[in-house]
Structure 1
Amino acid sequence: MTDMDRLGAMETFVRVVETRSFSAAARDLRVGQPAVSKSIAQLEERFGVRLVMRSTRGLAMTEAGQHFYERARKIVDDAHDAAVALSGAGDGVCGRLRVSAGVTISRLHIVPRLPDFLDQHPHLSLDLVLSDRPGDLIQDGVDVCLRTGMLDDSSVIARKIATCRRLVIGTPAFFERNGALQTPADLSRLAAVVYTEESAGGGDVHGFRRGESEVEVRLSGPLRVSAAEAVRAAVLSGLGYAVASEWMFAPELATGAVRAVFADWLLPPLDCWALFPAGRLMTAKARAFANFVQAELGKTKG
């Protein structure tokens, strides 16, 4: 196997790992599935180790495969960057960028603005992995991960890129039918849609502060959910109110479809973080994407 053949086989292996499928990797690379299988077999034969295991549940990397993937991906990325630099696009923002982000913030604030980012960087392509639960950045091949709330993973490099208010949000009709509210303590008699992801600003108990006054409110209601999209759907249907970030309901707050009550009482704000895999150099393309999201979220009222 020549050096060029080995580089091509590494790229094939990287795509197999990131798509978790021989057939999906073949589609991405525009080759037949037998060619993908042959490349992986050649790598395994060349190094004398098993890299991937097939089962009824799909593909899984061996321990050797995991170590090889981490190194192979950097080599493949460096080769792509070098090729683009030679073609005249020398800013380093090129090749494939793999981003992990929450579903709601992506749908409302990131995906609609991607055309501008990709217009700025025409040699870049994006893999956008949407999930409300962060995974293993290195194992999942993620260059940059966007997450809101508290961080509990010390194995990543974290950079805070934005902050927004958390508010008590519901439809005007919901608040009108539940009567006048005097203080946040009155919320305890109203039906709440409880967002159970405490690390993302949810939870049952919330502390409000205004000047020297502090009020702690325990939420209760007919629905508890673990996904922000379900919180949005339930609130917009009039099922209850929610304690949520301004980001989560930005379009509806702008149109008046929902409104905030007790906005003069402060809740702890919600931070958005760009996370980068520890032990791996932050690439120019990952840094450029984080800077772009930071600028875009900065335009959102918060």
Structure 2
Amino acid sequence: MNLFTSMRYFIRVYETGSFSGAAKLLAVGQSAVSKIVAQLEQELGVALFVRSTRKLTPTEQGRIFYEHANKVVEDAEAAVASVGSNSQNFLGQIRIGGTLTFMSQYIIPKLPLFLNRHPAIDISINLDDRNVGLIEQGIDLALRMGQLEDSNYVAKRIGRCRRIVVGTSSYLTKHSAPQKPEDLVDHSIVVLSQGEGGERFTFKGPKGSKSISVSPKLRINATEGVRSAVLADAGLSVATEWMFEAELDNGAVQEVLNDWTLPDLDLWAVMPSGRRVSPKVRALVEFIEAQVNATRFGISHSGQE
């Protein structure tokens, strides 16, 4: 196997911290990855990792080699992309992460257009409502909403979405619509539960702000589950507008507390730091940003840059 390919394998092992993690991302056997890294170490004449039964730790030489090898691989991709027609020369895999509902409704249906423009690229998608580690999961680009917790990532804001209180029309015919935030305590509430929080909300109204706490009837850790519960008349929910865009348009779901607002949620394109963003990932970010801007959730529609 050539040195360039060996470096790609080494980079994946370094970033995932294990041969098994790298093998999963590379879609090859663990023994093959271990063998290639061992051959690379033999060729270089140094140990790149300290191996133990429980973990794999980079040596000082391994850390130095990673910085240079990563740059070589990125430069090679940039060189290929710079030759000839810019739209046809990106190649290789891009791994994307994002929530099931948002990705399924807004991003995945648009990806065939990107792949038609760049036929040498293939995309692997990890759908997960949790904010998983990008390096550990080998993710090149994640789409995340809300406040970013990890400052070690490179992030670009590409969209913004309102948060609203919603319920189905059938639920609201059986229960009077709340007129003020504190009325929510008299309703069945469905919340998106991810770690701490999600049960206290601060509304801004005509005469100032009000913070309320709710006691949910249902706590669900995935947006698709919240959607299903609300559409089954389980109660009201504080949700992002994109979660129920179609139902809000056709009247199946209604917004309540229209005179009160909640803080918007930003949509971010998030990439691992410590390495340059590759041209193909940058091209995908620009494509996704354009697709988001074509909806009501784009930055161009929010009035803020």
CA pair 15-63 structure 1, distance change in 2 beyond 3 A: closer
Structure 2, unpaired ranges of 5+: 298-305
1:268/1:198 Cα in 2 relative to 1: closer, same or farther (>3 Å)?
farther
CA contact (8 A) 1:155 1:278 kept: yes
Compute the TM-score of the two structures, normalised by the length of structure 2. 0.80
Q: Distance in 2 between matches of 1:231 and 1:100?
A: 20
Within a 5 Å distance, the mapping from 1:58-77 to structure 2 comes to 61-64=56-59, 71-77=68-74
Deviations 1:128-160 (A, max 9, x none): 222223333344433322110011212122221
Alignment size in residue pairs: 289
Unaligned runs of 5+ in 1: none
- Which residue pairs with 1:11 in the alignment? 8
- Tell me the distance in 2 between the aligned counterparts of 1:66 and 1:176: 63
1:167-192 deviation digits (Å, cap 9, x = unpaired): 10111111111124322321110010
Further displaced range: 255-264 or 235-244? 255-264
1:134 aligns with 2:131: yes
- Which of residues 219, 240, 243 is equivalent to 1:224? 219
Equivalent in 187, 201, 207 of residue 206 of structure 1: 201
- Residues in 1 aligned to 2:293 and 2:101: alpha-carbon distance in whole angstroms: 17
1:240-260 deviation line (CA, Å, top 9, x unaligned) = 211010122223223333221
SS in 2 for 1:296: helix
Change (3 A) 1:26 1:126: closer
Identical amino acids, percent of aligned pairs: 39
Aligned-residue Cα RMSD (Å) equals: 3.1
Q: 2:191 aligns with which of 184, 194, 199?
A: 194
- Mean CA deviation greater in 156-165 or 139-148: 139-148
Greater CA drift, 282-291 or 110-119: 282-291
Q: TM-score, normalised by structure 1?
A: 0.81
Secondary structure of the residue aligned to 1:229 is helix
| CA spacing shift, 1:138–1:37, aligned 2, 3 Å | closer
1:175 alignment partner in structure 2:
172
Q: Distance in 1 between matches of 2:251 and 2:240?
A: 16
CA deviations on 1:102-143 (whole Å, 9 max, x unpaired) are: 232212211111111222222322222222233333444333
Partner of 1:20: 21
Q: Which moved more, 1:123-132 or 1:150-159?
A: 123-132
Partner of 1:246: 241
1:114 aligns with 2:108: no
